[in-house]
Structure 1
């Protein structure tokens, strides 16, 4: 078997359905398996997987064992030569795994491969590629020196700014939302360190792979949506665990002076407070117009019943000839993409094409009864049930 995709889920039932749907589409031409590990979700995640995706291997934990252990449990049953650790709040393109697999096979000393990640608004997520967060590198992040001197190697290491978002190359640290590596290597380094509940586990794994003499890569030639804010509600518990995670990483890998210990403690608290502020719910803006890309008039009627507003209907078959332009779609519009007729790769391209234009995005997964998306990487996404009568 070529590939095992490991998806660790905790109470994100609808995002999980969208994710698995996209992974299924992306593995049609690959000898692969999908393994979903559920950390004792209280929503309908497990029943949904059983009914919607009977070929997916489902592992149910009787408690929330955390990110590292949950993924280790999944990898322990993986049969693929390669594995991909994938967040449940992601959407991959139909050719994502084929591209990454082909790239990985060409490398002589392969460590971990990460890809270009964007949020639900189409904006690039800088954590797609990072440097080792030594005390100095963390300092440049805390003081925003990486923004002031983006081209200086001395200041720009935190987000590996020696590479642009559209440039493939070597990096040190990759994010746990998408980590592609050999099954053998994962087990050689011992997988994720289960002493860390979450938040620095991907940094730690990336660093352990580097210590084995392997090379980690950021691969830009495929884009994956990571809704991000859906995985974790940024509350007091998050703040506490984030502090514990960063403290864990420094104690494990670095011998630093008392001064740096105090400094990093202050920095960790600062980071945590900022993240908590960013994670607070913001007032949602109501879309003034809705544009549905589909071939089904029935879907239009269902959406109108939910939003109680006029929905412009642009048939996707004719859109291929019309060609969407930035000028034709105004600020305040919500673009709704019907995956029944609109590939995930096309959905991702629309996100990127219309980013930062005051436009929001939603996807209707194939054979699903809901619309899903997110308007901020720091907030929970939105799920709207539209009914099953159009399926």
Structure 2
């Protein structure tokens, strides 16, 4: 098995170098290649990556087409039968790539697979996710009553913030920060590539839904973890902008899944009220 690790860089030279170093330091039990896609960085000279890491493949995009587009460019140069989309702001502290690739090898029903993602302080990021639904939104409003349910039953039912990442489980979708899947699945998707309709945010949920429609489930591996710096220190004004972007993504994905009928409008009304109230 060869794992093609695709990392997209945009003006994050030092962070991306730290990510690559961690991959090289900790990946031992599986063959891999690193494909670095530079999304037309304006602050970085992409060629400098080759001075530090002469054995990686460097792909220079003539424009910044977003996360999905950058990863598709990387896939075009991938030789592996397994693809790992790895965010540039991740740090490996153990051989998570080998661990996840073994799970993928053992189960043909798996689509996307991910380890536990944690912040730098070790706090779990809730990256084993359930698709949004009217049922779960109503149950979330009744959160105190859910606490009477045994933890494991509650965690499997709701996932998201109700799950502490302490056991392996199937889920609806996993974070795109560490997103491993068989390359052969791309041949089953429209256009035979990852859907590029979103420039940034929401694409991981969309891809997992499309895999699910093909009969492949997403899976969360609890026994290994990866640090994901993420948006832990985003400033308040940017948090509000991000909240609005994520809300729009959720609504777009729900329209894609359920159509624009009564279910969608009820869901949009409830979710918008909840998310605005949570921030304000």
TM-score by length of 1: 0.62
What is the distance in 1 between the residues matched to 2:200 and 2:100? Answer: 26
**Could you tell me which of 212, 226, 236 is aligned with 1:210?**
212
**Mean Cα displacement is larger for which, 22-31 or 67-76?**
22-31
**Could you tell me which of 253, 257, 260 is aligned with 2:257?**
253
- Correspondence list, 1:288-299, <5 A: none
Shift in alpha-carbon separation, 1:55–1:273, aligned structure 2, 3 A: farther
**Mean Cα displacement is larger for which, 222-231 or 103-112?**
222-231
Shift, 1:174, TM fit: 0.6
Paired residue for 2:57?
57
Q: Please tell me whether Structure 1 or Structure 2 has the larger radius of gyration of its CA atoms.
A: 1
- Correspondence list, 1:122-137, <5 A: 122-126=122-126, 128-137=127-136
What is the distance in 1 between the residues matched to 2:45 and 2:54? Answer: 13
What is the distance in 2 between the residues matched to 1:77 and 1:132? Answer: 32
What is the distance in 1 between the residues matched to 2:207 and 2:214? Answer: 11
What is the distance in 2 between the residues matched to 1:199 and 1:147? Answer: 32
- 2:40 is equivalent to residue 40 of structure 1: yes
Give the 3-state SS of the residue equivalent to 2:173 in structure 1: coil
Paired residue for 1:198?
200
**Could you tell me which of 136, 145, 153 is aligned with 2:143?**
145
**1:27-62 deviation per Cα after TM superposition (whole angstroms, max 9, x unaligned):** 455321111112222222624412211211112223
Calculate the aligned-residue CA RMSD, in Å: 3.0
- Correspondence list, 1:185-334, <5 A: 185-189=185-189, 190-229=192-231, 234=238, 238-255=242-259, 257-258=261-262, 260-261=264-265, 263-264=267-268, 267-268=271-272, 271=275
What is the distance in 2 between the residues matched to 1:147 and 1:55? Answer: 55
Shift, 1:13, TM fit: 2.0
Give the 3-state SS of the residue equivalent to 1:209 in structure 2: helix
More helix by percentage: 2
**1:235-261 deviation per Cα after TM superposition (whole angstroms, max 9, x unaligned):** 665345324322220111113544742
What is the distance in 2 between the residues matched to 1:242 and 1:3? Answer: 30
Shift, 1:85, TM fit: 0.9
Give the 3-state SS of the residue equivalent to 1:83 in structure 2: strand
Paired residue for 2:95?
95
Give the 3-state SS of the residue equivalent to 2:84 in structure 1: strand
Q: Is the 1:104–1:113 contact (alpha carbons within 8 Å) kept by the matching residues of 2? A: yes
**1:60-92 deviation per Cα after TM superposition (whole angstroms, max 9, x unaligned):** 223221112111121122110101111110011
Give the 3-state SS of the residue equivalent to 2:131 in structure 1: coil
Shift in alpha-carbon separation, 1:83–1:269, aligned structure 2, 3 A: farther
- 2:80 is equivalent to residue 76 of structure 1: no
Give the 3-state SS of the residue equivalent to 1:22 in structure 2: helix
Unaligned runs of 5+ in 2: none
Shift, 1:220, TM fit: 0.9
Shift, 1:3, TM fit: 0.5
Q: Is the 2:133–2:267 contact (alpha carbons within 8 Å) kept by the matching residues of 1? A: no
Bigger relative contact order, structure 1 or 2, given CA contacts below 8 A and separation 6+?
2
Shift, 1:125, TM fit: 0.9
Matched positions, count = 273
What is the distance in 2 between the residues matched to 1:30 and 1:255? Answer: 42
Q: Is the 1:120–1:225 contact (alpha carbons within 8 Å) kept by the matching residues of 2? A: yes
TM-score by length of 2: 0.84
What is the distance in 1 between the residues matched to 2:24 and 2:155? Answer: 42
Unaligned runs of 5+ in 1: 278-391
Give the 3-state SS of the residue equivalent to 1:8 in structure 2: strand
What is the distance in 2 between the residues matched to 1:59 and 1:124? Answer: 32
What is the distance in 2 between the residues matched to 1:235 and 1:23? Answer: 30
Shift, 1:18, TM fit: 0.7
